[in-house]
């Protein structure tokens, strides 16, 4: 199956190249770049110098003739413009951006501050958190890959909501992300001296991933869910750790939670449930795993759950390849069996 990556000089795009170049079923046919058209891949990315690719410009009509599946690793607002034209010509689209995740144009415009994609495509897009919403993936024409924070947060949260373990009226999620989460585009906020030896909260209670989390939390809870989400930037390259706090409505014990998470994710190869100890970003780095740990506090009647992912793998390119595998009928682990890097 022939594939293309649009946005192939960004962090998500380069991670897709790394995965697709070694994939047993996908052929990486086109690397699209608007800024490096005609240049060789190895000039920009020496770690990929053995591959010998060059970047092409973006021409949707040509692309629709040349490939079967396109990954968009572009900023918000780009796939919304180009993906429907590809999907309408039977190209499968996996979109790493937030353009198609929120279902309703009004919600997208309110949180992203950009013109929304066509409503029809927003409504029929399949959300690619395959551990929960994978049933529709085999027929999907356009797949919205989940955001990095929602991936870790929803994998931790949805079992609790589905089993009515916690109070859905108030869930608090603290997120911490490495700097590659902000993309490769240069900016003041990601300069070394701003980030190094610093931990900085940002977009508290107004991050664009809040409505995404609430939307899919409500589907599983079958009731309104309110989430307070506060992300932080931490001085590391890769990794996301979320910590979720909620009220324990039914006196669940640590053993009950372990059984619940193990049962929920028993056939899901990328979710690792910890019986003891806490997840940490180092233990998932470079892999498609999501590690989940938890603790019940009887004194305060509350539950804390932590989840760790690599933002560029399970949070972006890894999960996109997982979704493409499921869409095409291949084992979901195809091309994703890499073990985390250590140290």
Residues assigned a catalytic role: 148
Q: Which two tokens stand for residue 2?
A: 């022939």
**Preceding peptide of 6 cis, ω within 30°:** no
Give residues 174-213 in contact with ligand X2W (rule: CB under 6 A).
177, 181-182, 208
**Cβ pair 177, 239 in contact under 8 A:** yes
- The yes or no reply on residue 165 touching ligand NDP (CB under 6 A) is no
| Rounded Cα gap, residues 218 and 230, in angstroms | 19
Alpha carbon distance, N-terminus to C-terminus of the chain = 35
Q: Which of 19, 69, 73, 257 binds ligand NDP (CB under 6 A)?
A: 73
Q: Does 151 bind ligand X2W (CB under 6 A)?
A: no
Residue selected from 7, 13, 80, 98 as contacting ligand X2W according to rule CB under 6 A: 98
From ligand X2W, ligand NDP, none, which one binds at residue 48 (CB under 5 to 8 Å depending on kind)? none
Quick check: 319 binds ligand X2W (CB under 6 A)?
no
Q: What is the CA radius of gyration of the chain?
A: 19
State in angstroms the smallest separation of the CB of 299 from ligand X2W.
33
Question: 178 near 152, Cβ under 8 Å?
Answer: no
Residue 33's binding partner among ligand X2W, ligand NDP, none (Cβ under 5 to 8 angstroms by kind) is ligand NDP
Question: How many residues make up the chain in this entry?
Answer: 343
Site for ligand X2W in 207-246 (CB under 6 A): 208, 231, 233
231 binds, among ligand X2W, ligand NDP, none (CB under 5 to 8 A by kind): ligand X2W
Sheet bearing 92-95, strands edge to edge: 55-56, 27-32, 2-6, 69-72, 92-95, 142-144, 126-127
Name the residues that contact ligand NDP, by CB under 6 A: 7-13, 33-36, 58, 73-76, 78, 96-97, 147-148, 180-181, 183-185, 311-312, 315-316
């Amino acid at each position: 199956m022939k594939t293309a990556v649009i946005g192939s000089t960004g962090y998500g795009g380069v991670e897709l190249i790394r995965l697709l170049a070694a994939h047993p079923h996908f052929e990486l046919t086109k690397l699209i770049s608007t800024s490096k058209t005609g240049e060789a891949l190895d000039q920009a990315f020496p770690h990929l110098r053995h591959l010998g690719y060059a970047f092409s410009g973006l021409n949707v009509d040509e692309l629709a003739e040349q490939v079967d599946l396109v990954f968009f690793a572009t900023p918000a607002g780009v796939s919304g413009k180009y993906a429907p034209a590809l999907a309408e010509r039977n190209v499968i689209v996996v979109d790493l951006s937030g353009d198609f995740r929120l279902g309703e144009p009004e919600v997208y415009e309110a949180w992203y501050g950009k013109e929304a994609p066509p409503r029809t495509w927003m409504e029929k897009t399949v959300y690619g958190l395959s551990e929960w919403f994978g049933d529709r993936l085999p027929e999907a024409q356009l797949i919205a890959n989940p955001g990095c924070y929602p991936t870790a947060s929803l994998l931790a949260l949805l079992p609790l909501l589905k089993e009515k373990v916690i109070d859905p009226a108030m869930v608090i999620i603290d997120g911490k992300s490495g700097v590659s989460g902000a993309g490769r585009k240069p900016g003041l906020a990601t300069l070394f001296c701003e980030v190094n030896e610093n931990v900085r909260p940002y977009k508290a209670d107004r991050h664009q991933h809040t409505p995404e989390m609430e939307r899919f939390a409500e589907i599983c809870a079958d009731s309104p869910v309110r989430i307070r989400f506060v992300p932080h930037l931490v001085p590391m390259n890769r990794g996301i750790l979320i910590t979720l706090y909620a009220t324990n409505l039914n006196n669940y014990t640590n053993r009950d939670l372990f059984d619940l998470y193990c049962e929920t994710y028993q056939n899901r190869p990328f979710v690792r449930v910890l019986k003891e100890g806490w997840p940490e970003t180092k233990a998932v780095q470079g892999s498609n795993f999501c590690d989940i740990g938890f603790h019940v506090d009887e004194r305060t009647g509350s539950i804390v759950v932590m989840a760790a992912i690599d933002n560029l793998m399970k949070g972006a390119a890894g999960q996109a390849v997982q979704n493409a595998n499921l869409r095409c009928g291949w084992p979901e682990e195809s091309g994703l069996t890499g073990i985390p890097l250590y140290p």
